[in-house]
Amino acid sequence: MKCTLGLSVVILLTAGAHAALPGDSAAGKRLHDTNCTGCHGTGVYIRINRLVRSLPALKQQLQGCNHIAKKSFSPTETQNIIKYLNDQYYHFDRAAGKQERTRAQYDTAWKIHSDLERNKRYATLVGRAAQDHDFELAIDIASGLSSAAQRDSSYARIVYQAILARDFPAAAKAARKMSSAALRDEQLEKIAGACPPNTMTGR
């Protein structure tokens, strides 16, 4: 997403898992329509290969508009733009409920006595958590798999989803947990090729 606006971004992302994003969506739409649509249409928000796949990525993308700054918005105005884009196109806050359900299911899955059944359940929950961008939970669940091969396969799924969400530190964290050095190096290469400089940390 490119903008003809500069953003003095202090994004006030919601702190609570169930809280709706703060801000005034109508005010955000007015700011967006006045300052962004001269550079691009709204199609960039809904295309299949869109770069923004999480609230942190949306914040990062808006920060990237600063280099062509033509106007500095207040934190309130910036949050209004975030609120509008999320309400209209992204709907990231809807994932919070799914994340809570996955966590609740994980809290009961560890009680399954059969290794085979427990591993099947864990693998399913890893996929759900990763798709909902709850990468910390996905990594935690994957670490409980009894098979090294299954763990590495699950970590690879997390890496893939984290790259799509542009959460490169989470992708790197998952890759570094792999048992296979060859697979670990392969995944780290993918991450390095996808992320901007100085983005991948040792998280």
At residue 168, the pLDDT reads: 86
Burial class for 143, CB neighbours closer than 10 Å (0-12, 13-18, 19+)? middle
The rounded distance, in Å, linking the Cα atoms of 178 and 42 is 39
Asked if pLDDT for residue 59 goes beyond 80, the answer is no
In this structure, are residues 107 and 137 in contact, taking their beta carbons and an 8 Å threshold? no
Nearest by Cα to 139 from 186, 55, 203 = 203
Rounded mean pLDDT, 90-115? 79
CATH of 95-194, one of 1.25.40, 1.10.1060, 3.40.30, 1.10.3470: 1.25.40
The rounded distance, in Å, linking the Cα atoms of 196 and 11 is 20
Three-state SS letters, 145-202 = CCCHHHHHHHHHHHHHHHHHCCCHHHHHHHHHCCCCHHHHHHHHHHHHHHCCCCCCCC
More confident residue, 32 or 181: 181
Q: Tell me the pLDDT tens digit for each residue of 33-55.
A: 888 877 777 877 777 566 677 77
Asked if pLDDT for residue 14 goes beyond 60, the answer is no
Give the domain ranges of the chain. 25-90, 95-194
Among the residue ranges 2-16, 18-32, 156-170, the one predicted with the least confidence is 2-16
Asked if pLDDT for residue 142 goes beyond 90, the answer is yes
At residue 12, the pLDDT reads: 41
At residue 8, the pLDDT reads: 40
Rounded mean pLDDT, 81-98? 78
Rounded mean pLDDT, 87-108? 77
In this structure, are residues 85 and 26 in contact, taking their beta carbons and an 8 Å threshold? no
Confidence of residue 75 (pLDDT cuts 50, 70, 90): confident
Residue ranges of alpha helices (H) inside 21-114 are 25-35, 43-46, 55-63, 75-85, 95-109
CA distances from 53 to 46, 105, 107, 182 (A): 10, 24, 27, 28
Mean pLDDT of the chain: 79
Q: Residues near 49 by Cβ (< 8 Å), separated by ≥ 6? A: none
Tokens for 199, please give them: 């983005």
